[in-house]
Amino acid sequence: MKMNDKHIILTGAAGGMGRILAASLHERGARLSLVDANAGVLNEVAGELAGAHAIVGDLSTAGGCAEIAAAAQTGHGPVDVLINLAGMMSFRCYEDEDPAMIERIVQVNLLGAMQLSRAVLPEMVERNSGRIINVGSVFGSIAFAYFTAYSASKFGLRGFSEGLRRELYDTDIRVMYVAPRAVKTPLNTGRIMRMGAATKMNMDDPELVVKKIMQAIDNDRKEVYIGFPESFFVGINVRFPRLVDKALAAQNRIARKFAKEED
């Protein structure tokens, strides 16, 4: 898909990947509606990209998503592309997880993407044109211990993407699901970084991941898994999940220690 002059909503635009993706889309001539809860950084990011419209909003409620969609449509007209990138994560033993955090993870990572898609879809259907790009995670195919709530939300996002893609199969609206492995961004707190080093977790630079996302958009891919061997293990986990249980057991023992630490 060509991005020049397309109206693109990008959520999570103030985040580690979001600000790089915003700049890449801007370079290609997109008209940007940049969304984030972090007003200070969002305004800074939008201020550097001529014509970009900053929308400070909260994706964790249906009302917040409707307001965001309306603000984007008022600013730049009908939405050509929605990129659901905003997300949040928690790394804890599930029995210690704050119930409010469980709710928020599902609200932002899954329901936020679903509600915003619902808000922009009628116009896409009317024009028989559009793209919805959901940024999931390898954890949306291989659930990881101590990232249980996060993994569940990303499994849901993958299911949502698959269902909506099949629903729109005979239209010119495409639904893409992109699943990076770990990326060096603020999403990964100090505890996660220390656990990642102790378990030798592969971590990509955000610039590389954004480049892969841009290539996926260029080529209208349906599902993209970023990083080897993680992409290979996605298939193994479907066919031989007990093998993956065993392969992850030693890593889980190390990770548990970090999951139990205070922030």
What is the binding site for ligand NAP (CB under 6 A)?
Answer: 12, 14-18, 36-38, 58-60, 85-88, 108, 135, 137, 180, 182-183, 185-188
| Tokens linked to 51 | 């014509």
- Distance of closest approach, residue 29 Cβ to ligand NAP, in angstroms: 23
- Distance of closest approach, residue 171 Cβ to ligand NAP, in angstroms: 25
Nearer to ligand NAP, 16 or 156 (CB): 16
- Distance of closest approach, residue 103 Cβ to ligand NAP, in angstroms: 12
Nearer to ligand NAP, 108 or 142 (CB): 108
DSSP result, 143-186 = --TT-HHHHHHHHHHHHHHHHHHHHTTTSSEEEEEEE---BSST
Nearer to ligand NAP, 36 or 80 (CB): 36
Nearer to ligand NAP, 86 or 132 (CB): 86
Residue whose beta carbon is closest to ligand NAP: 15
| Tokens linked to 234 | 């996605």
Nearer to ligand NAP, 5 or 207 (CB): 207
| CA dihedral for 259, 247, 139, 214, sign (positive or negative) | positive
Q: List C-alpha distances in Å: 91 to 192, 196, 197.
A: 7, 12, 15
Q: Which residues are paired to 54 by β-bridges?
A: 34
Nearer to ligand NAP, 56 or 129 (CB): 56
Residue 117 Rama label (left phi>0; alpha psi -120 to 50; beta): alpha
- Distance of closest approach, residue 191 Cβ to ligand NAP, in angstroms: 13
**Do 78 and 130 contact (CB within 8 A), yes or no?**
no
- Distance of closest approach, residue 104 Cβ to ligand NAP, in angstroms: 7
Q: C-alpha angle 210/226/248, rounded to 5°?
A: 135
Query: What is the distance between the alpha carbons of residues 226 and 210, in angstroms, rounded to a whole number?
Result: 10
Work out the number of other CB atoms within 10 angstroms of the CB of residue 78.
14
Nearer to ligand NAP, 61 or 129 (CB): 61
- Distance of closest approach, residue 260 Cβ to ligand NAP, in angstroms: 21
Nearer to ligand NAP, 152 or 183 (CB): 183
How many Å is the maximal CA-CA distance in the chain? 52
- Distance of closest approach, residue 3 Cβ to ligand NAP, in angstroms: 19
- Distance of closest approach, residue 41 Cβ to ligand NAP, in angstroms: 7
**Rounded to 10 degrees, what is the CA torsion of 245, 249, 254, 258?**
30
